Amino acid sequence: MTRNPAAVTVTVKMFDVGELGDCFWLQFATRDQESNVLIDCGSFRNSEKSKTRLNKIAGYIRNQLNDRQLDVVVGTHQHNDHVSGFVHCEKIFTGMVDQTWLSWLDNPRDQLARSIKKDQLNLVDTVSKLQSRLPATSSAGQILKDVLGFYAASGEDEDGGGPELPARGIEILKQLPEKEVRYLSPGDILPLPGMPTDAVRVYVLGPPRNQTLLFDKDPKKTETYDPNLAFANINAKRFLSALENNTSDGSDRAEKQFPFSSTHKKSEAKAHPEMVALYKREPWRMIEDDWMQTASRLALYLDSYTNNSSLVLAFELVKSGKILLFAADAQTGNWLSWDDIKWKGVTGTFSTEALLRNTVLYKVGHHGSHNATLVKALESMEHSELVAMIPVCKTDPNITKKNGWKMPAKNLYKRLKEKTGYRVLRMDDGYADGCDPQKNKGKTKWKSLPYQPRFDEKNFFVEYTVTG
């Protein structure tokens, strides 16, 4: 005889980290059981102000737990704005984590993961060197600086964290839990620790093991270079070598792949004119505007790849079938891979589309950027209780500067409001503009929900509760 699953409520706190960043605390509860899940804890910068804010948030969570542990801590991917808090608040988190969930890409025993991580770190290191050699005022130099900020590698971090800081965050997450770390792959279905085994199911959607999708931020557009991490490394190193040849005396350097490097320029006048002309027609050998565009593309590729490597989780409240979708910063390739997932141990008509159709809470990907919410997927979210939460900060310097990042993207923002019945919450403002029921009674549909949002400015969070 099948037991009737227990009813579950989930209170979701979205913490305002004071700049771009993610930190979500999910409190699941039945009549007599409770489970606490923390998904990410990080902010973009490593200033003293950033660290102080993160420590206050982590301290609040610890105090509220009152000697209980976090049943699960999830680290979605190696970007500063998702995991820096585990570095800066390590002492607070010590002793309060029962289990850590990470992506298969963080599994040291996975050969493919090791190979990809090695290439990724090499690319971060090489792009960091590029950024240090390009003029700070150049558009390419600025783009590299902005993107490398996700790795604490932009030169602004006061603790000298460098590009290894997000990796340190993941390593600390591996050391914190009492139980063995779980490395999750698409198709995994897990019970939620602390909950009755039939009350909550957790579905793992990403990151994909399909390397074409993992490495491609937008497969529908023609890439200007091969969408492969190893090839990007080759491109970056060629660029760095060419840049060094152009800006230094060319002494003691492996330059044989650059026959017209600075050490050979004196002999260029003696070379055959047609040979020189042929060489100069090869754009990768020339440091001009095309090269600066290549630098920008490499940085954006690195950023997109890391976002695509996000661990994506869907929490199902079994009794009601309601879904809470946490997509981290997953970009197009990650989303597209969900259609091909082979779910373990499921039968009948179950599908990924059903998960999307029953989604009642969507944590909007990558602060609402244009390529982090797949159109098809959002249109599939048709539950009458759908609410969206966007971890975005309108005062972040990357947004406020001239030609700053468009977060949230205008058209996506508009469609999120329409799809949810103007039930969109922001990390910074609470209600998204147009979604405050007191100011827009004619459009918002908050009153149809069992619980209303709650805002706690003292403890920096926006709260919403789902019943199921």
Determine the straight-line distance between the first and last CA of the chain, rounded to whole angstroms.
22
Mean pLDDT of 18-26: 97
pLDDT computed for residue 300 by the predictor = 55
d(CA 322, CA 324): 7
Q: Is the pLDDT of residue 72 over 90?
A: yes
CA atoms within 13 A on the CB side of 36: 15
pLDDT computed for residue 308 by the predictor = 76
Assign 293 a pLDDT band (cuts: 50, 70, 90).
Answer: low
Mean pLDDT of 415-434: 97
- pLDDT tens, residue by residue, 1-11: 346 889 999 99
257/163: higher pLDDT: 163
d(CA 281, CA 262): 17
Of 140-144, 258-262, 464-468, which one has max mean pLDDT? 464-468
With 0-12 / 13-18 / 19 or more C-beta atoms within 10 angstroms meaning exposed / middle / buried, residue 347 is exposed
Average pLDDT over the chain, rounded to whole? 81
Q: Tell me, what amino acid is at 465?
A: T
Check if CATH label 3.60.15 holds for domain 9-117+154-217+310-467.
Answer: yes
Mean pLDDT of 407-420: 93
Name residues whose C-beta falls within 8 Å of residue 446's C-beta, 6 or more positions apart in sequence: 423, 437, 452, 453
Q: Is the pLDDT of residue 286 over 60?
A: no
d(CA 178, CA 48): 30
> CA of 415: how far to CAs of 140, 209, 231, 333, 389, in Å?
32, 30, 36, 21, 14
Tokens (6 digits) for 385? 């209780």
pLDDT computed for residue 425 by the predictor = 98
429/309: higher pLDDT: 429
CB atoms within 10 A of CB 281: 9
Length of the chain: 468
Tokens (6 digits) for 358? 């029953």
Name residues whose C-beta falls within 8 Å of residue 115's C-beta, 6 or more positions apart in sequence: none
> CA of 230: how far to CAs of 144, 233, 236, 237, 329, in Å?
19, 5, 10, 11, 22
Rg (CA), the chain: 24
The DSSP annotation for 92-122 comes to HHTT-BS-EEEEGGG-TT-HHHHHHHHHHHH
| pTM (global) more than 0.75 | yes
What is the sign of the dihedral through the CA atoms of 333, 335, 336 and 337? positive
Q: Measure CA 86 to chain center.
A: 15
Name residues whose C-beta falls within 8 Å of residue 73's C-beta, 6 or more positions apart in sequence: 37, 38, 93, 97, 99, 100, 101, 173, 176, 177
E strands, 350-467, in order: 359-363, 387-390, 424-426, 430-431, 454-456, 461-467
- State phi, psi for 200 to the nearest 5 degrees: -135, 130
Q: In what order do the strands lie in the sheet with 461-467?
A: 182-184, 100-103, 72-74, 34-43, 21-29, 9-15, 461-467, 454-456
Assign 447 a pLDDT band (cuts: 50, 70, 90).
Answer: very high
Task: Give alpha helix (H) positions in 165-269.
Answer: 165-175, 211-214, 229-247, 265-268
| Contact in structure between 75 and 83 (CB atoms under 8 Å) | yes
